Structures are given as C-alpha cells and as structure tokens.
Amino acid sequence: MGDFKYLFGPVPSRRFGRSLGVDLNPYKTCSLDCVFCQLGRTTEKTVIRKEYVPTDVVISELKEWLKTDGKADYITLSGSGEPTLHSRFGEVLQFIRKNSEIPALLLTNGTTLNLPEAREAASFADIVKVSLSAWDQASYRWVNRPHPQLSFDQLLEGQKAFRAQFKGELWMEVFLVGGMNSMRDDVRKIANLAKQIDPDRIQLNTSVRPPAEDFAAALSKEQMERLTLLFEPRAEVIAEFKAIHSKGVEANQETIFSMLQRRPCTADQIADVFDMHLNEVSKYIGILMRSDQIHVERKDSTVYYAAKNNKEEHDAHV
C-alpha cells in the first residue's frame, strides 16, 4: 500500500472480504452518533453536505492504487464518517465503475437518501448497504442519536425511495444492542419496516468490537440466530470475520497499523487477514505498542488492538 491520504487497506470486513477503503470525511464526521459505533463517539455531528476532502486527489490516489496494486474484493466508500455527506461522492463511484472491475460498495447510514441528488449519486455503486436499527423517532434518538434536523420518517422514506430507483444490490444492516432494541417485539417492528424497504439481504450485527458507549451490550450468537426468523428475507448473523486470503497483500508494521487505524482487531483476526502465525503477529504488536502507536481495548474477555491516534483525537473532543 502506497503513502495515500484518503485510501486505506485493504482491511478485513466480516461482510466483504478484503476491502480497499476510500475515506471522504475528516475523522468521525457523521449525521449520527450511534451508541454502538466502533469508531467512538461522533465529534462532528452534521447534516451539511460539502466537499470535505478534494475529489480530484481521491481519484488521483485511486488511479495510482489501481496501477501499482489493484487487488481487493471491493472498493468501499466508508472510513471515518458518513460518506454521502461528501457532496461529490458520486463522482468517486463513477470513476471506480469506469476504471476497475472491482465492485464499488457504498456503506451509508441512509440519512441523506431523502435527497434526490444523494440517491442519484448512490446509484453508481454496485452494492449499497444501508442501516436500520430503530422503529420510531424515540428509538432512533436512543440508539442512533441523530442530528436534530433528522427524523426517523425521513430516514425510512429515503430508503424506500432509493430502493425504488436503485438497480444494484441493496443490503441492510440491523445493529442490535442488548436492552435497547433487542426485545423480540421491537425487532419484529424493525423487521416489518425492513420488509417495506425490500432489501436483497439483511444482516444482523451486534457489539462484537468495542463500541462508542460501554453500555452498548452485545447479544449472543444464539439470541441473534433466533431473531433472524423475524425477517423476510431471513436475516443472516454476521459472524466474526474470517479472511479470504489473497496473494500479494504484504504484512508489515505499516499495513497492520493502517488496518488498526480503521477498526480494532484481535491478534487472531490480524493473523487471519495476513495469513500469519500468531508469533509473527505478536512481534508487530509489540513494536507498535512500544512505539506508543496502538493501545489495548477489552470487550468482555476479548483483547482488541486499536490505533492510538483516533482515540486521542476522539478524547480531545469529549
């Protein structure tokens, strides 16, 4: 991986294998402040759409990556915040579609899809993943903590309108938090709304990685499996990521740190992604710990490693 400012990875994804990330926002610029977010609390909650980072530089970096590397399962607009807040994200998707055979993926919380221009831009993706983790305004405020200008009805209608015009695959993530939106009757309400949107796939997620708030408790796999039956099409539980190994992705201090900048991972996950022995992973973790670049986060009895820079930036804003 070259010295890019707006590209990262390829990083592991439980849903999408090895994904090259395209980051179109400053750290944690988002329209929501979800209690379960693995990036921590939102430091810049906004609904303003503008060119947060220079589009021409992003496209230039993609050109260079496609020439020099170009190996990934997906090219994904995701990263440090809500990508559709970038006013020209559609141009980035268009470039990927025209210049690469790698599928273009958009990960969005769906809060801008009530806007015709955002729906048109999102339509350039091969796959769009939206989110639905609430069933009314009160639960939306509780779980997702949206910007004051956003309403749940607006979110719902925007996703329905996008489904009506989008020719690609629409996936939906439902993030369940123990004690907040995981009661069977509440999940049934979410499932009924999901059916109205009519996604191609529905995936249930929970707090398997350290969340923004300590109280965002994870559900067990058994609980999640029982809840899949409420959805049509039947939902699938997103298991812990198991990497699809690809040749040519080098494991070194830089690539491991780049991965940990974007999401906390266990030593086993790092080993799986880079097809390394745990002893080799431990060596790199030791170097990064001694140089004070990463820190340990604990979720129940599991140890995760995460880059310090994002945590420190987050702490400076709270």
Mean pLDDT of the 242-266 span: 68
Of the candidates 231, 248, 265, which is a domain's last residue? Answer: 248
> What's the pLDDT score for residue 2?
56
What is the model's pLDDT at position 315? Answer: 43
Least confident of 24-28, 64-68, 108-112, 269-273: 269-273
What is the average pLDDT score of the chain?
A: 87
Is the torsion defined by CA of 236, 237, 238, 240 positive or negative?
negative
Half-sphere exposure for 62 (CA within 13 Å, toward CB):
27
pLDDT score recorded for residue 314: 42
Q: What is the DSSP string of 12-39?
A: EETTTEEEEEEE-SSTTEES---TT-TT
- One domain, residues 309 and 203: no
What type of residue sits at position 113? L
Percent of the chain residues topping a pLDDT of 90: 55
Whether 243 and 300 share a structural domain:
no
User: What pLDDT, on the 0 to 100 scale, is given for residue 243?
Assistant: 42
CA separation (Å) from 131 to 17, 94, 156, 290? 19, 23, 10, 38
Q: Is residue 317 part of a domain?
A: yes
Residue 240: CB atoms within 10 A of its CB come to 13
Please check whether residues 206 and 101 belong to one and the same domain: yes
Whether 231 and 279 have beta carbons less than 8 Å apart is answered as no
- Do residues 193 and 269 share a domain? no
pLDDT at 138: 97
How many helices and strands in the chain, by DSSP H and E?
Answer: 11, 12
- The pLDDT score that the predictor gives to residue 240 is 55
Say if residue 293 is exposed, middle or buried (CB neighbours under 10 Å; 0-12, 13-18, 19+). Answer: middle
Domain boundary among 248, 269, 285: 248
294-299 vs 302-307, strand pairing mode:
antiparallel
- Give residue 64's pLDDT: 94
Distances from the Cα of 163 to the Cαs of 56, 136, 153, 173, 175, in angstroms? 29, 20, 15, 15, 20
Q: How many domains does the chain have?
A: 2
Same domain assignment for residues 282 and 162? no
45 shares its domain with 178: yes
Per-residue model confidence (pLDDT) at position 141: 97
Question: Is the CB of residue 211 less than 8 Å from the CB of residue 181?
Answer: no
d(CA 123, CA 241): 27
What CATH number corresponds to the domain at position 24?
3.20.20.70
Identify the residue with better confidence: 253 or 241: 253
Task: Kindly state whether residues 226 and 240 are assigned to the same domain.
Answer: yes
Average pLDDT over residues 156-175: 97
- Going by pLDDT thresholds of 50, 70 and 90, the confidence category of residue 13 is low
Give the mean pLDDT of 211-237: 90
Whether 1 is in a domain gets the answer no
Which residues are 106's β-sheet partners?
A: 77, 128
Q: What is the pLDDT of residues 274-312, one digit of tens each?
A: 767 776 787 788 888 878 888 988 877 788 888 886 544
Domain-embedded: residue 157: yes
